A and B are shown apart, each in its own frame.
Chain A
Amino acid sequence: MLYREAGQFKTSYAKDWAIFPIAQDRIVVLGFLAIAFIAIPVLSSEYFLATILMPFLVMSMAAIGLNLLTGYAGQLSLGTGGFMATGAFAAYKLSTMFPGMPIEAVFLLSGVVAAFVGILFGIPSLRIKGFYLAVATLAAQFFLLWLFNKVGWFTNYSTSGVISAPPRTILFTDIYVTGPEASVTAKYLFALTLVAILALAAKNLVRSSIGRRWMAIRDMDIAAEIIGIKPLQTKLSAFAISSFYCGVAGAMWAFLYTGSVEPLAFDINRSFQVLFMIIIGGLGSILGSFLGAGFIIALPILLTNAPHLLGLNIPVDVISHVEYMIFGALIIFFLIVEPHGLARLWQILKEKLRLWPFPH
């Protein structure tokens, strides 16, 4: 009743090609954007913005990146953390080497740097497939982190190895978005804008010819090759664009979320975290990347605070172990209940809404 495409006629090609062809979808998306851009900065506390929404935005970006590679192009990668670190360090080097460069350009260029590194480590994917490739991408993860740790040039020869993001303003204004003077709200809005634009780009990308090529390679690469899809360009472009998103996410992590650039933030656990997000959220779904990121970010916070809310008094070290257990168990539970991820639940809900209030 509420959600129904009957009666919505497409009278032009532009309407037929629209990214959200159904009016209700458009309303929901615009509603969410309005809430995210207007209601949340006004209503929510700084703490909520800085500790929950910022990591959510950053990790959604990384999840979109990995989802393009794993969910759409079918190349399993465990190097996400390495590519994020590349973006973070590229952003740091770019902004310190060229102090006049606009921060927007720094973010996008650091994504481009990560994309080139991604291409480099994507080359083995032409020979290696499946889990062999997944383990091979671990080489990227370990090698890149080692490189940033060892080579002083990347940290401008800082002795502690932890460096803070330089303060920068948005182009044509004097509003700080990075550095200690930036307000949390400004950082949030900047991150949100980046995520919104790049998510829209990703949504368009996956329905363009390049996205369809990725899916063909994912579904059966030999068959795709036979119908004329070049595996070299397709796989490497998937690695490049995925690493671009991960690189921008890494730059966001360092500049907007924590304010400091450190290799430890991008270790192997970060890669697994992003992989969890896209599996729980839904492989091959942009919406799923957001849902998964939200779930994986919110779950540990809930688990940490649950004993207090329930009035239980458990020692801290036991809590952290039990947290691990519950986290693992919930992952397994979700995989068993809905292997297609949270995005699938949303589809089921849409089906139900289409029929509501009549059951058949």
Chain B
Amino acid sequence: MSFLNAFFVDPFVQIADYPLFFIEVVIGGLLSGVMYSLVALGFVLIFKASGVFNFAQGAMVLFAALSFAGFIEMGVHPIFAFILAGIVMAGVAIAIERVVLRSLVNQPAIILFMATIGITYFLDGFGQTLWGSDVKVLDLGIPQTPIDVGGIFINQFDLFAAAVAGGLVLVLAIFFQKTRIGRALRAVADDHQAALSVGIPLKTIWAIVWTVAGLVGLVAGAMWGAKLGVQFSLALVALKALPVLILGGFTSIPGAIVGGLIIGVGEKVAEVFWGGAFGGAIEDWFAYMLALVFLLFRPQGLFGEKIIERV
């Protein structure tokens, strides 16, 4: 009885009693969802262009953040450190394309998936060998204090992160829609062979896509690193991005954003209002269950391309 009460009655009573608090939780969820979207974006870019389910995105986020923080520690100005870290990520992307992807062309998707887990191990180890494994503080000069907007408290840093994510999506959209390379990327995403036959260099495109995903990872790493400190647990952020990914659909950039927002809100609301009914710490699995429920109705995710199967 008490469980049913805690599950069906209490949360709604709480919401009705303190609507402002509920709105605050929702906004907090939306903003943290943006952070998940940042990581999920990198996955989507690579899956769209090369059909590879890149598990290493989390490791790339960690590696980028480690390099960024490492360069700052060496006394480089943050802007230059960001550029240097970007160059490092481009190097990583080209190396992955050269060594791994090129050798595994035409292999089944699961083999490529496994290879990206191998890359995950390698990057995790490499990053920490190179830059050390102690927690680095990454101070971007953005205050973490909440500001008061009409009785609702919003974390300033989360607002900044949301703005960055918005800007990033805008830049990516322009890059994909308006530039020559962007058009080539979309062509590759549509059909590898057709793209090859009209003279689009597939290998270069893959290197570019992985570089872009690396840069997205760098932005995500900088944001997450500034929020949590740069440490190994950043790589686990990828696990948070996976439900976002299946919810939004592997192939859709708007899906990654909307999925992130849904997961962020769902997770926060569930934890705050329903966590008590389950004994707390339901954040670990709630996102997956939420995504699973959505998937039962739309197996390709909310925005994924319709799966057409032929025999």
Contact A332 B279 (CB under 8 A): no
For the residues of B in contact with A, the DSSP-based class is helix
* Chain B CB within 8 A of A136 CB: yes
**Which chain A positions have C-beta within 8 A of B295?**
124, 127-128, 132, 136
Candidates A132, A150, A151, A325; contact of B129 at CB < 8 Å: A325
- Complex CA–CA separation, A321 to B113 (angstroms): 22
Q: How far is the CB of B109 from chain A (nearest CB, A)?
A: 7
Contact B242 A135 (CB under 8 A): yes
* Chain A CB within 8 A of B74 CB: no
Contact A321 B133 (CB under 8 A): yes
For the residues of A in contact with B, the DSSP-based class is helix
Q: Which residue of B lies closest to A136 (CB)?
A: B292
Q: Size class of B's contact patch?
A: 35 or more
Binds B, one of A4-12, A42-50, A139-147, A191-199: A139-147
* Chain B CB within 8 A of A14 CB: no
- Complex CA–CA separation, A217 to B126 (angstroms): 40
**Which chain A positions have C-beta within 8 A of B250?**
131-132
**Which chain A positions have C-beta within 8 A of B285?**
139, 142-143, 146
**Which chain B positions have C-beta within 8 A of A138?**
239, 242-243, 288
Interface size on A, residues (CB 8 A): 47
* Chain A CB within 8 A of B1 CB: no
* Chain A CB within 8 A of B104 CB: yes
- Complex CA–CA separation, A212 to B110 (angstroms): 21
**Which chain B positions have C-beta within 8 A of A148?**
none
* Chain B CB within 8 A of A295 CB: no
Q: How far is the CB of A342 from chain B (nearest CB, A)?
A: 14
Contact A329 B122 (CB under 8 A): yes
**Which chain A positions have C-beta within 8 A of B291?**
135-136, 139
Contact A336 B311 (CB under 8 A): no
Binds B, one of A29-37, A155-163, A169-177, A268-276: A268-276
Q: How far is the CB of B184 from chain A (nearest CB, A)?
A: 25
The answer to whether residues A325 and B110 also contact, given A138-B288, A268-B239 and a CB cut-off of 8 A, is no
- Interface residues in B122-170 by Cβ distance below 8 A to A read 122-126, 128-129, 133
Contact A335 B104 (CB under 8 A): yes
Contact A328 B299 (CB under 8 A): no
**Which chain B positions have C-beta within 8 A of A130?**
109
Candidates A131, A323, A329; contact of B109 at CB < 8 Å: A131
Interface code A291-333, partner B: CB below 8 Å = 1, 0 otherwise? 0000000000000000000000000011001111111111110
**Which chain A positions have C-beta within 8 A of B239?**
138, 268
* Chain A CB within 8 A of B117 CB: yes
* Chain B CB within 8 A of A105 CB: no
* Chain B CB within 8 A of A232 CB: no
Q: How far is the CB of A242 from chain B (nearest CB, A)?
A: 16
The answer to whether residues A335 and B284 also contact, given A128-B295, A135-B242, A136-B295 and a CB cut-off of 8 A, is no
Q: How far is the CB of B97 from chain A (nearest CB, A)?
A: 13
* Chain B CB within 8 A of A226 CB: yes
* Chain B CB within 8 A of A223 CB: yes
Contact A223 B311 (CB under 8 A): yes
Q: How far is the CB of B101 from chain A (nearest CB, A)?
A: 10
Contact B299 A128 (CB under 8 A): yes
Q: How far is the CB of B281 from chain A (nearest CB, A)?
A: 7
Contact B121 A220 (CB under 8 A): no
Contact B289 A272 (CB under 8 A): no
- Complex CA–CA separation, A221 to B279 (angstroms): 41
Contact B121 A324 (CB under 8 A): yes
Contact B119 A339 (CB under 8 A): no
Contact B129 A332 (CB under 8 A): no
Contact B121 A142 (CB under 8 A): no
- Complex CA–CA separation, A200 to B209 (angstroms): 47
**Which chain B positions have C-beta within 8 A of A321?**
124-126, 128-129, 133
- Complex CA–CA separation, A150 to B121 (angstroms): 30
Q: How far is the CB of B115 from chain A (nearest CB, A)?
A: 5
**Which chain A positions have C-beta within 8 A of B111?**
279, 335, 339
A-B contact pairs, 10 of them (CB 8 A): A124-B295, A134-B53, A146-B285, A223-B311, A321-B124, A321-B129, A325-B122, A325-B125, A328-B124, A335-B114
Instruction: Name 13 extra pairs, CB < 8 A, besides A136-B246, A138-B239, A328-B120.
Output: A131-B113, A132-B295, A135-B242, A143-B285, A223-B311, A275-B114, A279-B110, A325-B121, A326-B125, A329-B118, A329-B122, A331-B121, A335-B104
Listed from nearest, the 6 A-B pairs whose CB atoms lie closest are: A324-B125, A328-B121, A328-B122, A331-B118, A139-B288, A325-B125
